Amino acid sequence: MVEEIKVFTKKFVEWTKFKIRIHLSEKEIYFREGEVWWASLGINIGHEQDGKNETFERPILILKKFNQFVLWAIPLSSKLKDGPFYHSYRFYDKEFSACLSQLRLISSKRLLRRIAMFPKMDLLELKEKIKKLI
């Protein structure tokens, strides 16, 4: 348990340092609804989706753009998951899942690089699933 706390503390400190750099960044990022991006989601709590690597990144879908600074993001996973809180989709002949229950508001400063556009039909289906969750 002590070793686990040390490892988590180190990752949390690294994330905090990186988060400060993200916050102070003045780069302008142009994005649209329906795009898939790598985003710095950080080290989170409990079962929330964490980022990986030195930039604490994971792929996200931009569900809604509120303005040039704020968006709703849905974390994406290469692990197939089933149930009402997930949406499975095919992308470049591979299966992926969108984690609908982890929809969150993020700053555009967290966006790192664009990957692609989300399949249009899947985006419509995904939005309908989210409406049913509310």
Spatial CA neighbour of 114 closest among 29, 3, 41, 17: 29
User: What are the pLDDT tens digits along the chain (134 aa)?
Assistant: 788 888 778 888 888 898 899 999 998 899 999 999 999 988 777 766 777 888 889 999 999 999 999 999 999 988 888 888 998 888 788 888 999 999 999 999 999 999 999 989 989 999 999 998 88
Give 61's strand partners. 36, 74
Q: What are the structure tokens assigned to 44, written together? A: 């989170």
- The DSSP element (H or E) to which 8 belongs, if any, is helix 2-24
**Residues 65 and 32 sit within 8 Å (Cβ to Cβ):** yes
DSSP 43: S
2-133 belongs to CATH 1.10.1740.10: no
Q: What is the pTM of this model?
A: 0.88
